[in-house]
């Protein structure tokens, strides 16, 4: 599996153009992308990072990490996913970086998602759906999610996001209308971000393999 993650991460380098500021996601697949980016660091203007974890790796490669407010709209965002459906809609947040990932995806013209083949599904929901919540609203959000979806929210105890918040993982969903569910869950007070990337799906998906598959 880590070999297909490496193949996907390295293939994504083909989308990087000279002088770009590159949006960078989080996770083990992205780590391969960052390592490949390090090999061409002199050709890029820097990166915007979605997590402390990725920032640290970018810095180790000597890549400057810029603030999104200063960088402005980005031409490219490269990130992994926990699940991907045939419409390039995603579940993300297994690494608890979903809120910053969502912000950077929205700020980017092109979102290239890098996955291993096990992440491909027909219908999203086998992977528990992460929701970042304001700590004081954890129980409220859990009750609302159960009532509205029938899914079972489980607190990812001990995990604090880079934004100081908590994560609920919703089990047992079969997400037939991801756009509607994303909108519904976003309305619950206390929800910071939902790990459904349906309103802003990936533009390109690279599935690691020999050779990697590029889906547009």
Ligand X SMILES: O=C(CO)[C@H](O)[C@H](O)COP(=O)(O)O
Tell me the closest approach of the beta carbon of residue 193 to ligand X, in angstroms. 10
Among this protein's residues, is 101 annotated catalytic? Answer: yes
Tell me the closest approach of the beta carbon of residue 192 to ligand X, in angstroms. 13
What sign does the dihedral 180-183-189-195 (CA atoms) show?
Answer: positive
Please enumerate, by residue number, every residue annotated as part of a binding site: 26-29, 79-82, 92-95, 119
Of 96 and 137, CB closest to ligand X: 96
Instruction: List helix spans (H) across 72-177.
Output: 98-106, 138-149
Please enumerate, by residue number, every residue annotated as part of a binding site for substrate: 26-29, 79-82, 92-95, 119
Tell me the closest approach of the beta carbon of residue 114 to ligand X, in angstroms. 8
Sequence-distant (6+) residues with CB within 8 A of 114 are: 5, 8, 9, 11, 12, 29, 30, 33, 78, 79, 80, 205, 206, 208
Of 140 and 212, CB closest to ligand X: 212
Please, which residues bridge with residue 155 across strands? 168
**How far is it, in rounded angstroms, from Cα 9 to Cα 102?**
19
Of 19 and 92, CB closest to ligand X: 92
Which one from 101, 132, 144, 182 is the annotated catalytic residue? 101
Tell me the closest approach of the beta carbon of residue 137 to ligand X, in angstroms. 20
Query: What three-state secondary structure class fits 67?
Result: coil
Distant-in-sequence contacts of 66-73, Cβ < 8 A, 24+ apart: 66/21, 68/103, 68/104, 68/107, 71/21, 71/46, 73/107, 73/108, 73/109
Which residues of this protein are in contact with ligand X, per CB under 6 A? 25-29, 79-82, 92-98, 101
Of 12 and 98, CB closest to ligand X: 98
Residues annotated as catalytic are 101
């Amino acid at each position: 599996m880590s070999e297909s993650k490496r193949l996907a991460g390295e293939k994504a380098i083909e989308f990087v153009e000279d002088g770009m500021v590159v949006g960078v996601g989080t996770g083990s697949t992205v780590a391969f992308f960052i390592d490949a980016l390090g090999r061409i660091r002199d050709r890029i203007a820097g990166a915007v990072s979605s997590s402390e974890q990725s920032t640290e790796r970018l810095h180790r490669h000597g890549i400057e990490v810029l603030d999104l407010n200063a960088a402005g709209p980005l031409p490219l965002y490269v990130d992994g996913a926990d699940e991907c459906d045939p419409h390039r809609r995603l579940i993300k947040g297994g690494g608890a970086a979903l809120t910053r990932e969502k912000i950077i995806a929205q700020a980017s013209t092109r979102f290239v998602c890098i996955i291993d083949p096990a992440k491909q599904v027909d219908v999203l929901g086998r992977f528990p759906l992460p929701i970042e919540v304001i700590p004081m609203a954890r129980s409220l959000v859990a009750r609302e999610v159960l009532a509205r979806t029938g899914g079972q929210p489980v607190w990812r105890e001990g995990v604090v996001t880079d934004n100081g918040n908590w994560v609920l993982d919703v089990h047992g969903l079969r997400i037939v209308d991801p756009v509607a569910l994303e909108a519904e869950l976003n309305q619950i007070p206390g929800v910071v971000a939902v790990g459904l990337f349906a309103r802003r799906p990936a533009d390109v998906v690279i599935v690691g393999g020999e050779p990697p598959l590029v889906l547009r």
